[in-house]
């Protein structure tokens, strides 16, 4: 096998991958029409342009209602408020996710409680949730992560038994379905992100879905400055802020929704090919298939780095650095265990709910979710979704690069980890991904 690029050899690939976001000429025309209409904002809610988009988005996901909002973090806060989660209440979230899943809970005055993840899906482990339930628990936020779903059947059974609300964080799951039910339609409410890296995007933005008119009215009130919903059947009056999405964003999202099915199918096809090419590569484990997924969706393609016990092997971060030098955009520390993240500033001084009616304040430094920590710091390798929307040869290059690095583990293990600036890699690579300059 040729010399690794990180050690001075030639990389497997120099050609850029497909650009992201994708857009069509019709998107530009629609934006121009929206600009010329001089109606750019999101009031009244919903706007005429947003109404049709929301109907189509809801239908794609098997939900009765959909509501556009400012972003995919406030969407979780809005759902929590609509669900009646109050100050000091506990909300169970996975330890392995984007920090915003937990900070949205804090923003509502509630207390995130971390549960561990399933080692085969990286999604919330139902048994870990069961062990985390207390008399204070009011809701659960499962996250459908990267390319897999939380086992929603078992989770919903558990939630119903304890009278808990379920808010699906479907920020990675646009267009996906589990046992024939669309993402965001299984729990009480669903939350989607439309941030620039997501499977459909308006640069920023979020969507909420539900099958309950009561929740839909409550969410409208929160989003629209406290105003009554249009139907107002339940007469809800909740403290609201302006979380509305603009019509300029809706104009982009109409095209994004139209192209989502074809791109989703292409990613699924490419992901299947990549999985088949990587079977048997030493030190690499492909996530097992999840039979419950009836409409696959791939925000990123996730692998597990698992060298054989006793085999000389570098740390995962150095493996990822070597893979990136081969021309493959990827990340290892894509997510951290949230309670260890340098963006999770949850202390009793900053978040008084952590001490509210408790003899001892919540101390997240004592949390330990071993599967989440292994995924975050030792095991996961994230390949970005735009690697899966180009030519078939792109996927074969990814597989060749992984096999090349995996075949040189002993050589790579002898290198100084500082060779790749390993300690800063997670945040640095993520920032580079967000800028989308190189790929």
The dotted CATH code for 25-254 is: 3.40.640.10
Report the pLDDT value the prediction gives residue 232, as an integer from 0 to 100.
Answer: 97
- Using pLDDT thresholds of 50, 70 and 90, give the confidence band for residue 6: very high
Q: Give the Cα separation of 230 and 301 in Å (integer).
A: 41
Task: Give the pLDDT confidence score for residue 416 in this predicted structure.
Answer: 75
Lowest mean pLDDT among 132-136, 156-160, 342-346, 412-416: 412-416
Pairing of strands 206-210, 65-69: antiparallel
- For 160-171, how does the pLDDT look when each residue is reduced to its tens digit (9 = 90+)? 999 999 999 999
- pLDDT class of 68 with cuts at 50, 70, 90: very high
- Total-model pTM: 0.95
pLDDT at 214 exceeding the cut of 80: yes
Question: What would the two tokens of residue 374 be?
Answer: 């292994």
Percent of the chain exceeding pLDDT 70 equals 95
Contact 213, 192 (CB under 8 A): no
pLDDT value at residue 439: 31
- Provide φ and ψ at 297, rounded to 5°: -145, 140
Residues 84-123: tens digit of each pLDDT: 999 999 999 999 999 999 999 999 999 999 999 999 999 9
Q: What is the predicted pLDDT for the residue at 76?
A: 98
Span 389-414, pLDDT tens digits = 999 999 999 999 999 999 999 999 98
The pLDDT of residue 326 is above 80: yes
Determine the average pLDDT of the residues in 415-425.
61
pLDDT for 275 equals 98
Six-digit token string for 13: 């690939």
Helix, strand, or coil (residue 368): coil
Q: What is the pLDDT of residue 1?
A: 55
pLDDT beyond 50 at 343: yes
Which phi-psi region, left, alpha or beta, contains residue 362 (left: φ > 0; alpha: ψ -120 to 50)? beta
Residue 40 pLDDT > 50, yes or no? yes
pLDDT at residue 420, as a whole number: 55
Q: Work out the angle at residue 87's Cα, subtended by the Cα atoms of residues 89 and 195, and round it to the nearest 5 degrees.
A: 85
Question: pLDDT tens for residues 257-267?
Answer: 999 999 999 99
How is residue 175 annotated by DSSP? T
User: What mean pLDDT is reported for the chain?
Assistant: 94
DSSP codes joined into one string, 23-86: --HHHHHHHHHHHHHT--S--SSSPHHHHHHHHHHHHHTT-SEEEEES-TTHHHHHHHHHTT--
382 forms beta bridges with 302, 331
Q: Give the number of C-alpha atoms closer than 13 A to the C-alpha of residue 229, restricted to the C-beta side.
A: 22
3-state secondary structure of 92: strand
Q: At 112, which helix (H) or strand (E)?
A: strand 111-115
Among the residue ranges 116-120, 181-185, 423-427, the one predicted with the least confidence is: 423-427
Q: Write down how long the chain is.
A: 439
| pLDDT value at residue 310 | 84
Position 434 confidence tier, pLDDT thresholds 50, 70, 90:
very low
Domain boundaries, the chain: 25-254
- pLDDT score, position 83: 98
């Amino acid at each position: 096998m040729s010399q690794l690029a990180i050690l001075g050899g030639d990389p497997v690939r120099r050609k850029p991958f497909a650009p992201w976001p994708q857009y069509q000429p019709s998107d530009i025309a629609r934006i121009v029409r929206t600009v010329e209409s001089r109606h750019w904002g999101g009031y009244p809610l919903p706007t005429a342009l947003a109404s049709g988009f929301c109907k189509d988005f809801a239908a794609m996901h098997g939900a009765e209602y959909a509501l556009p909002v400012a972003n995919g973090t406030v969407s979780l806060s809005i759902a929590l408020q609509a669900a009646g989660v109050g100050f000091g209440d506990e909300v169970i979230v996975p330890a392995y996710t984007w920090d915003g899943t937990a900070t949205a809970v804090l923003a509502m005055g509630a207390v995130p409680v971390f549960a561990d993840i399933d080692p085969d899906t990286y999604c919330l482990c139902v048994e870990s949730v069961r062990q985390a339930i207390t008399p204070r628990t009011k809701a659960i936020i499962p996250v459908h992560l990267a390319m897999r779903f939380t086992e929603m059947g078992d989770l919903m059974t558990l939630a119903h038994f304890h009278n808990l609300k379920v808010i699906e964080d479907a920020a990675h799951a646009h267009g996906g379905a589990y046992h024939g039910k669309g993402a965001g339609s299984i729990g009480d409410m669903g939350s989607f992100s439309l941030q620039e890296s997501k499977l459909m995007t308006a640069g920023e933005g979020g969507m909420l879905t539900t099958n309950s008119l009561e929740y839909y009215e409550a969410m409208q009130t929160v989003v629209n400055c406290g105003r009554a919903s249009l139907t107002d059947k339940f007469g809800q009056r909740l403290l609201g802020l302006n979380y509305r999405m603009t019509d300029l964003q809706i104009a982009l999202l109409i095209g994004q929704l139209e192209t989502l099915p074809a791109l989703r199918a292409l990613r699924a096809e490419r992901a299947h090919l990549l999985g088949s090419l990587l079977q048997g590569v030493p030190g690499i484990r492909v996530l097992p298939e999840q039979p419950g997924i009836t409409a696959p969706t791939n925000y990123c393609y996730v692998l597990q780095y698992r060298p054989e016990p006793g085999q000389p092997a570098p740390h995962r971060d150095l493996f990822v650095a070597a893979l990136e030098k081969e021309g493959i955009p990827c990340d290892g520390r894509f997510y951290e265990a949230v309670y260890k993240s340098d963006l999770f500033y949850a202390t009793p001084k900053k978040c008084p709910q952590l001490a509210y009616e408790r003899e001892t304040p919540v101390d997240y430094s004592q949390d330990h979710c071993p599967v989440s920590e292994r995924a975050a710091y030792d095991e996961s390798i994230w390949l970005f979704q735009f690697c899966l929307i180009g030519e078939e040869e792109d996927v074969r290059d990814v597989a060749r690069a992984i096999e090349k690095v995996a075949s040189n583990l002993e050589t790579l293990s002898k290198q100084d980890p500082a060779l790749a600036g390993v300690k800063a890699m997670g945040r640095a690579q993520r920032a580079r991904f967000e800028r989308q300059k190189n790929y």
